[in-house]
Amino acid sequence: MANIVAIQMTSMPDVAENFKQIRQALAGMQFDEPTLVVLPECFAWFGATDKSMLQQAETLGEGPIQSELQRLAREFNIWLVAGTIPIKVQDEARFTATSLVYDDNGERVADYQKIHLFDVEVADNTRSYQESRYTKAGEHVCVIPNTPFGRLGVAVCYDIRFPGLFMAMEQLDVLALPAAFTYKTGSAHWHPLLQARSIENQCYVVAANQSGTHVNGRETWGHTCIYSPWGELLMESLESPGIVYSQVNSSYLEQIRATMPVKQQNRFRSKLV
């Protein structure tokens, strides 16, 4: 079997302190089998203004944040879905919210640019969220077909509300979801959305969320968790930083899909390119 892990964080606008949180969490893990670790959205820099993310933006394949992620993957012998970091684009006033995937040799095997941007009004301390002001939306789904965890898909936070995205991924074994779900929306919709995606796609969902009140007053929900392909809540953190973990049981996946072959029976398929 292979292990799936999600780390819950209360990130701050301090890259070094955020990596310290991650290292402390990883130091407590002891797994002999292949292990996938998912970090939250904006794990390296969170809690300042959205514009401040521009100052942290790196060129894809270069920069201190990406170098440290490679070191972590190699040092701890893990596959790493590195939440999101800001990656530069041609438009100097914006960046992409990019989730990077590294194998246990520290090699980047995929990168996903968040497609659905959080431009909404929420009845909380922040009120108005306009992610698209500084973030450029991605255009392509991210699926890594051959990993120790099976067919691995990556999406980010607000993406979870758009089931067509996951239909476009075809059959997944594991869905990794870095997130910074707000307290207000998380308390209402976090678990129903995650459970629905796990049931619809008959896959494990590993959801790593930010938690707590951040230095700019933004409130995030926490409740980092893992769902089974039958929609069972396997493990959940509440509001404090920490980790959740489970295992990918390929026999269980096969059993569920054999007795209820929804992918083959689905008559409304679509695919993004």
How far apart are the two ends of the chain, measured CA to CA in Å? 32
Q: Are strands 79-88 and 35-38 parallel, antiparallel or unpaired?
A: parallel
| Residues with a known catalytic role | 41, 114, 157
Task: Give the SS3 label for residue 189.
Answer: helix
Separation between Cα atoms, residue 53 and residue 97, nearest integer Å: 10
Question: What length is written for the chain?
Answer: 273
Separation between Cα atoms, residue 125 and residue 272, nearest integer Å: 35
Separation between Cα atoms, residue 117 and residue 135, nearest integer Å: 8
Task: Give the SS3 label for residue 99.
Answer: strand
Cβ atoms within 10 Å, residue 41: 26
- 97 contacts: CB under 8 Å, gap ≥ 6: 41, 42, 84, 85, 86, 113, 114, 131, 135, 138, 156
Q: Are strands 225-227 and 219-221 parallel, antiparallel or unpaired?
A: unpaired
Query: Six-digit token pair at 133?
Result: 């002001």
